[in-house]
Structures are given as structure tokens and as C-alpha cells.
Amino acid sequence: MSTPSPAWLAAARTQFVTHFGAAPTRFAFAPGRVNLIGEHVDYHQGFVLPAAISQGIRALARPRPDTLVTLRSATFNATHTFDLAAPFAATSGWARRAEGIIRTVLADAPSPRGLDLFADADLPVGGGLSSSAASMAALGALAADLNDLPLAPTPFALTLQAAEHRFAGVNCGLMDQLAVLQGRANHALLIDCRDLSLRPVPIPPTWALVVLDSAIRHDLATSEYNRRQQECAAVLALLRARRPAVQSLRDATDADLDAVAPTADPVGLRRCRHVLAENRRVHEAVAALAAQDAPTVGRLFAASHVSLRDDYQVSCPELDALAEAAWQAPGCIGARMTGGGFGGSTVNLVQASEVRPFLTFVAREYKLQTGRDARVLVTRASDGLTRGEVP
């Protein structure tokens, strides 16, 4: 089991003692995730190919003798305190998500104990890298550990997903939670979002993983995310009325969509066509990674981005500018938007020997196109949630 870096641990321990007056006893690290391909298909029981990354949410904790929970967030420079024996206290934002997952994890504890928590991150918040899922995973794991509750990965992932639905208002699939909990170093994870099976897929060792954050955050992301599900659900109802074996878009074919096209909403139909094509692209990408076939990976990434831009309509001009610049940059293997969209980040596979000229080219072009500076995250595929005693 990995432990926090000595430098971070020393600094965080000092802050913990300053704030709480005693030393922490447990740590947890939950990585962010970047999705290589398979976007907006997890909640349609499709296939996705995410990787946990080396940046994430780091937290320290100690148990309390009462039922109070005090959380200090260095990221938000704020403190939230609540009593497990009292009604829900938080009303919005990071505090609501934090309180929500802690209460959810401890709901079945016969005599839940409170805890003091300190958390920070080297992961951009709102950048499409699952900072919310990672934060909930780290805090929920510490709450469970300090109350001697077992945490099996798949049930915990389902708990995290339910908390995301309830406390963040995002009707997400299970990709983020599974990747955050079960990531594997130097691998992506092929996830079947119907049966939740996982298969590690090696990333070629000479390919670097680069995330470019557009620095754009759009408030409409949550509402539009949920709207896309509603648009697809309307078409799915037509598909099921015609062919009951279609339980989700995972089961539909292009011929099925053609058959309902005369009565389906054309916007919803475009959304569904993205889902079907994206599922195919995931399987093609797995084969291309195994063969280290850079041209095919590049073609698939570009097709995914164009489909997300034109059919699912979750991109934005800044993400388009980043992807288009990357496609022309030296060393680029593949580039596309990643995450929910409407801002956030692109994922880029780059020849490791060409990372510097790649970044120089994309940064210059992005600045020319948008007047903005992209935030750079050179990362690697990493293990999922780790936790243990503070050394």
C-alpha cells in the first residue's frame, strides 16, 4: 500500500495539529481519473476506458470520542462541522457532498463515532477529472476505517454513486467511482457498466498521459448532463416499445434507431447515435492500445471528440480549440475532450519524447485562439484508493 509523500505528510500533519490540537492517525488518497474514451455512455450501461491518475484528494483523520465531525478543507480554505446525532447541516457545495458521504457510509454503524478530517488536493476542482468522486471516496473511506466498517470496492462504488446523485444532483453512471477505487498503475480499465466487470488494459510505456485544463467552468454542466439522459430516455422508450429486448442503449443497433427515426425527436436521436458509436470506439481503442497502433488511437480520439461536439453537444469552443491544436502538435497520438464537458479538460496521449514540444505548440495555439492559458497536468495511470495508518 502506498503512503503519502513525506513532504506532503509533514506539511499536512502540521496543519492538522494546528487546527485540531492532536496528531492524525489515518490517511487516505483517492486519485482523480481521466477517461481515455467512452464518454457519456456509462449511464447507458456501455463500455468505458478510464485510468486513475497520480493527482487526487489527500486526507488525514483521527477519531473523536463524540459524534462531532469537523472537516477542514485546504482546497476551499473552509471548515465544516456537523453532529452525526443531529439533522443534516450543510445546504450546498463541497460541504453538502462531504457531509452526505460521511453520513451515508455511517448510516448502518450501530454507534457511529465522529472524526476530525483534513483534506487537500493537487487535482483541479471542476476540471472533468472526478474531483467530486475522489473527494467522496477519501472522506467516506476514512469515516468507515475509523468506525471499523468494511469497504468492498464494488458496494462502496455504488454507495459513492448514490451519494453523488443525492447530494451533488448529478445522475452519473459508475465509471468515476470504479476508476477512483480500482485504478491500476500503468493501465486503463475497460469497464462494462452493465455487469461492472473490469479488465486492465496496458498503456504503452513510451506514451505519456497529458491533461490540458481549459480553465473554463460552466454552471450549466449539471443541468445539461441530466437533460441528455432525458433526451436519450425518450428515444429508448420508443425502442423498447418496438423491441422489448432493448433494455438500454447498450442493446440497441443503428437499425433500431433507423426504425424509430420517423417518430423520434431528432435531437434525442443524435444523442443516441453518439452512444452507439462511442461504444464501438471503446473496443477498437482497446485493440489499438494492445497493438500500440498510434494512428488508429488518434483517429478514434478525434472521432469521439467530434461526436461529443456535434451529436451529444457537450463540448465548448475552448475544448474544441485545445483538441484541434493538439491534433496538429508534434508527438500527438490522440486528443479529445474528457469528462462531462461544457468546460473542463482534454485528455492527450503523447509520445513521451515529445511532451515538451507538444505542450509548447498547444499552449501557443490555445492562447492565440482563446486568449487564455491552459493548465497543464502531466500525469500517469496510477493505482486506485489507498489508505492506512499514518506512519
- CB-CB contact of 84 with 63 (8 Å): no
Which pairs count as long-range contacts for 227-231, CB under 8 Å and 24+ apart, including other chains? 228/40, 228/271, 228/312, 228/314, 229/43, 229/171, 231/265, 231/267, 231/268, 231/271
Rama region for 93: left / alpha / beta (φ>0; ψ in -120 to 50; rest) = left
Rama region for 116: left / alpha / beta (φ>0; ψ in -120 to 50; rest) = beta
What DSSP designation does 155 have? H
- CB-CB contact of 2 with 110 (8 Å): no
Whether 213 is catalytic is: no
Compute the Cα dihedral for 215, 216, 221, 222 and give only its sign: positive
- Cα separation of the two ends of the chain: 12
For 115-189, where are the alpha helices, taking DSSP H only? 131-145, 153-163, 175-182
As to burial, measured by CB atoms within 10 angstroms (0-12 exposed, 13-18 middle, 19+ buried), residue 153 is middle
Q: Which of 42, 116, 120, 176 is catalytic?
A: 176
Q: Give the bridge partners for 31, in sequence order.
A: 56
What residues are annotated to the active site?
176
